[in-house]
Amino acid sequence: MEIINLKADDKVQLSSNLPNATKISKKNQITDLKSGVRDQNRVNIFIDDKFCFSLDLAQVVDYHLKIGKTLTPEEINDLRRASAFGKLYNQALEWALIRPRSIKETRDHLKQKLAKLEIDNRQRKDNREKAQTDPEFKKLVRIHKIRTAPREVFTIDDIERAIGRLLDKGYLDDYKFAEWFIENRFINKGVSHTRLRQELHKKGISSDIVDELLEKSARDEAAEIQKVIQKKSNKLDSKKMLAYLVRHGFSFDLSRELISKHYSESTQDPELII
């Protein structure tokens, strides 16, 4: 995870640090700040004794939040948006740290999360409205803890902002991603340059980057074909092997040459390709 460094004079006043603090109750006033249970780097913000949203430590410092501070409705809305963005960025960062990612696949991943979030919020809204008119359903909501409260929703602009921050910090890099992809994709099974090029284009990598990296790649076509032949020769005869290789993007002529050599030496297939 990205480490947040706070200055020595930056202090976050958490209620857990103030055991004798008196709870404050006033409209739109911060009455409690508590460390997150699952994520100690986040702070749960309580307004008028009710949980409102959570922020990371750096955001709490940036917004000068403390117990007793009164907020305007506009400030609360701004903080809700900041909370949604903070969660989005942390999720995007975790995604980018698992393995190298392209910009496009990261953007597509975050858009999918937004779509699921919007569907979930629509369901929660339906549950709220039904609970208001159906007493029996209201009981079920309470008994089974059916979720009705809306979740914080980020926006397309938030996605682009998160991607921009990942790029600035070096967590996203299309060139490094393509380099990693070419070096590792089907490393034991064998893969053609044609297939690598197609898959990288789907992930948003430019033709210039792909051409440059394939040109200097140590994975030459002949060696990749040999990998496939070694794995498939006990299952496929020479004609089926040729069809398989061509279907997966390998050169017809080179595949035919290497198949003929392999089956001739192994005498597995007397019907050699002419």
Tens of pLDDT, residue by residue over 184-215, are: 999 999 999 999 999 999 999 999 999 999 99
In a domain, residue 224? The reply is yes
Confidence (pLDDT) at 46: 95
What does the pLDDT profile of the chain (274 residues) look like in tens digits? Answer: 444 444 434 555 555 444 444 444 458 999 999 988 888 889 999 999 999 999 988 899 999 999 999 999 999 999 999 999 999 999 999 999 999 999 999 999 999 999 999 999 999 999 999 999 999 999 999 999 999 988 888 999 999 999 999 999 999 999 999 999 999 999 999 999 999 999 999 999 999 999 999 999 989 999 999 999 999 988 999 999 999 999 999 999 999 999 999 888 765 554 544 4
Confidence (pLDDT) at 8: 38
Total count of domains within the chain? 3
In this structure, the answer to whether residues 126 and 116 fall within a common structural domain is: yes
In a domain, residue 178? The reply is no
172 exposure class (CB count in 10 Å sphere: 0-12, 13-18, 19+): buried
In this structure, the answer to whether residues 67 and 126 fall within a common structural domain is: no
Query: Cα separation of 72 and 78, whole Å?
Result: 10
In a domain, residue 236? The reply is yes
In this structure, the answer to whether residues 12 and 30 fall within a common structural domain is: yes
In a domain, residue 209? The reply is no
Domain that holds residue 234: 220-274
Is residue 73 within 8 Å of residue 27, measured between CB atoms?
no
In this structure, the answer to whether residues 18 and 39 fall within a common structural domain is: yes
Confidence (pLDDT) at 202: 97
Q: Of 196, 181, 192, 185, which Cα lies nearest the Cα of 244?
A: 192
In this structure, the answer to whether residues 84 and 52 fall within a common structural domain is: no
Strand order in the sheet with 50-56: 30-35, 42-47, 50-56
Alpha helices in the chain (DSSP H): 57-62, 73-98, 103-133, 135-144, 156-168, 174-184, 193-202, 207-216, 221-232, 238-247, 252-266
| Segment 211-222, tens digit of pLDDT | 999 999 989 999
Query: Where a domain ends, among 154, 172, 190?
Result: 172
228 exposure class (CB count in 10 Å sphere: 0-12, 13-18, 19+): buried
Confidence (pLDDT) at 40: 80
Pair type for strands 30-35 and 50-56? unpaired
Confidence (pLDDT) at 38: 82
